[in-house]
Structure 1
Amino acid sequence: MPDGPLAIGVDIGGTKVAAGVVDASGSVLHRTRRDTPHRSTSPRVVEDTIVSAVEELLGHGDEVVAVGIGAAGFVAADRATVVFAPHLSWRNEPLRASLGERLALPIFVDNDANAGIWAEHRFGAGRGESHLVMVNLGTGIGGGIVIDGRVLRGRFGIAGEFGHMQVVPDGIRCECGNRGCWEQYASGNALVREARSLMSAGSPVVSDLFERVGGDPGELTGPLVTEAARDGDPLARELLGEIGRWLGVGIANLAAALDPGTFVIGGGVSAAGDLLLEPARVAFRRQLTGRGYRPEASIVAAQLGNEAGLVGAADLARVGAADLAWAEAADRADRAEHADG
């Protein structure tokens, strides 16, 4: 038997739309996926993809109380509007209203990183931690914040864009238009850029990586560097160590601002495990404000992997539906009291 009310979570990424029916313990009962429509596609086609996935899951006959959408991009604090999604054509898109016209269920929209941290807070590496920060290392850096058991979204819904903190004045140019952003030094892109730079220079220290990509630097990826590091390649380990050190510097800055008890590190680069996290922990201790005179947050790897987004989106929707039901019941009771009076 499923544990508690069921909700559907939909995780919309740059390449795939993953969806699942999730129970109150975080277990995924049914799954489906679709390719993400190309970024030039109209909003309606993306909505069609979401509706198709949700309707397939509803076809299993489960009683679902809500649908949660986790979208890569800026989501307004109203959890209804996608302000900007870099991989899709959404610009101030009223996604909750649009989907609500086609799906007879409460809809809740959130940033995918918020969905991810909520899943880790409820069911994963951050379970039981009241003050939690998640840092996702992928192509860039994203993240989320949970304070006192609630997702901190910010005044405009855009909290957690940690990758664009400036860590090096006048540093490497970032895609956002600024220079020296954290994600230019501690991300999958940074890892691959440094390796390719050595390969293009013909450095003998990258001979193992050259062999892995058949001599073509353009074929190099972050997972390949991680695999080489796990196999003992000294250069790959050095590059991951450098990424880890920059990760620790940024985390120390976040600790100064937010003072969490735990940092959860997710995203593709986190698959390197302690090859990444140990250098991060060392750099964190060196850079931490008040080091030696304050408690230190722990730095741990995320546990839920690729399913964190859909699990978190579903659970946030379940909580949202319960809050909505409570508010409606309170409103009915208030109206009845005034009518009796």
Structure 2
Amino acid sequence: MHAIGIDIGGTKIAGAVVDELGGIVRRNRRPSPAGDGERIVETVAEMIEELAGDEPVIAAGVAAAGFVDSAQSTVYYAPNLDWRNEPLRERLEARLGLPIVVDNDANAAGWAEFRFGAGRLVSDMCMLTIGTGVGGAIVSGDRLFRGGFGSGGELGHLRLVPDGLPCGCGQRGCIEQYGSGRALLRIAGGIADEEAAGIGRALAAARAERPLDGESVGALIQAGDPGALEALGRLGRNLGEACATLSAVLDPQRFVFGGGVSIAGELLLAPIREAFAAHLPARGFHPEPDFVIAEFVNDAGIVGAADLARVWVAERA
């Protein structure tokens, strides 16, 4: 029952053979030729061949950032991979003779958490990945939600602030502009400008040495710096408000937070819970979800992609 999972990132392509319990049996990785869509297809095919070796595998799943159709076959649009209506499953199956499933990378990561990680004890879960942007995955009634055309669950583009900051999706005010790692750096920079008031002093000092980045802000958060903690608090409150809106629609039992910013743990979850409670409609008249940090880190996309491929084959057996 082994399956192969491939996670296509901006700088690397990672892959592994995964067992039915989500365990990594064997892994591989290569640099990602992100600007060359054709070469990416070749690299993925070569990695699947290498990982399979002489060992029988049931299928392979491929996770990529972008819009994937509901048949888990064609990548409509992948902004960082130069793919437009790329028939990825068809091309890989023709070469490999192996069942292939294609899905969005956030969906794959969310599925890994639902099956084997922080969401494994619930039937309805919502995951937000807080990295450079904000990704999302929704599990409803034990099934991954994809929408009618396959591109549902793009939670980072929920409108949080009407006519707010411009977003790369072409709209304004998306949660990605207020709840991402990039947003954290922008908020921290604004607090650094408040150096005269004292709270931004350490952030301003760090910025004087080099531009603020995730490492420098993260170190100040872990050190308990008031300015950095305020930046994280503002970010968390933005996410909590978005979760209240999502809860009114999806009613999940659990919110799971992954991505680089999630390493802040309870320091991130506390302001999320606070803002959620303040903005949840009809609070106190129905059960409320819990909020947890994802258990998988770098392997979520790989494990989720492999298991989605395994499920796809099993449902068609």
Match of 1:33 in 2: 29
What is the distance in 1 between the residues matched to 2:150 and 2:10?
Answer: 20
Residue in 2 that maps onto 1:178: 171
Q: What's the CA shift for 1:205?
A: 3.9
The 3-state SS of whatever aligns with 1:84 is strand
User: Is residue 14 from structure 1 mapped to residue 10 from structure 2 by the alignment?
Assistant: yes
Counterpart residue type for residue 305 of structure 2 = A
Instruction: Give me the whole-angstrom Cα distance separating, in 2, the residues matched to 1:28 and 1:156.
Output: 31
Task: Look up the match of 2:66.
Answer: 73
Contact 2:193 2:200 in 1 (8 A): no
**Match in the other structure for 2:49:** 55
Trace 1:1-341 onto structure 2 (pairs within 5 A): 5-39=1-35, 41=36, 43-59=37-53, 61-199=54-192, 205-212=199-206, 215-217=209-211, 220-324=212-316, 326=317
1:80 counterpart SS class: coil
* Runs (4+) off by over 6 Å: none
By how many angstroms is 1:127 displaced?
Answer: 0.4
Contact kept? 1:210, 1:216, Cα under 8 Å: no
Compared CA separation, residues 200 and 282, structure 1 to 2 (3 A): closer
RMSD: 1.5
How much has 1:222 moved relative to structure 2?
2.3
Q: Work out the percentage of aligned pairs sharing the same amino acid.
A: 51
Assess if the C-alpha contact under 8 Å between 1:228 and 1:236 holds in 2: yes
What amino acid is aligned across from residue 261 of structure 1 in structure 2? Answer: Q
Tell me how far apart the structure 1 counterparts of residues 192 and 298 of structure 2 sit (CA, whole Å). Answer: 31
8 Å CA contact 2:3–2:19 kept in 1: the answer is yes
User: Does the 8 Å contact 1:18/1:310 carry over to 2?
Assistant: yes
Q: Flag the 1:28–1:288 CA change in 2: closer, same or farther, 3 A.
A: same
Deviation at 1:213, TM superposition (A): 5.5
User: Separation in 1 of the partners of 2:310 and 2:187?
Assistant: 43
**C-alpha contact 2:191 2:227 (8 A) present in aligned 1:** no
After TM superposition, the score normalised by the length of structure 1 is: 0.89
Amino acid at match of 2:241: V
> 1:223–1:269: 8 Å Cα contact kept in structure 2?
no
Check whether the contact 1:130–1:146 (CA below 8 A) recurs between aligned residues. yes
Cα distance per residue 1:195-244 (max 9 Å; x no partner):
23444676564443355456222xx2224312211111111011001100
With structure 2 as the length reference, what TM-score do the two structures score? 0.96
Q: Per the alignment, in what secondary structure is the counterpart of residue 96 of structure 2?
A: coil
Please list the CA deviations of residues 22-72 of structure 1 after superposition, one character each: whole Å capped at 9, or x if unmatched.
Answer: 000000011111111133x1x22111111121122123x322110000111
Cα deviation 1:65-86 (Å, max 9, x = unaligned): 1000011100010110000001
Aligned partners of 2:226 and 2:190: how far apart in 1? 16
Please say if residues 193 and 204 of structure 2, whose CA atoms lie closer than 8 Å, have aligned partners that are also in contact: no
Counterpart of 2:236, as a letter, is G
Q: Mean alpha-carbon deviation: is it higher for 70-79 or for 177-186?
A: 177-186
C-alpha separation between the residues in 1 aligned to 2:83 and 2:171?
A: 23
Instruction: Compute the displacement of 1:305 (Å).
Output: 1.1
- State the SS of the aligned residue for 1:306: coil
> Which structure: larger Rg?
1
Change (3 A) 1:52 1:206: farther
Does the CA contact (< 8 Å) of 2:26 and 2:51 recur in 1?
yes
The separation in 1 between residues aligned to 2:206 and 2:46, in whole angstroms, is 40
Which amino acid is the alignment partner of residue 247 of structure 1?
L
| Structure 2 CA distance for aligned equivalents of residues 200 and 208 of structure 1 | 11
Q: Please say if residues 226 and 240 of structure 1, whose CA atoms lie closer than 8 Å, have aligned partners that are also in contact.
A: no
Moved more, 186-195 or 203-212: 203-212
Gaps of 5+ in 1: 327-341
Gaps (5+ residues) in structure 2?
Answer: none
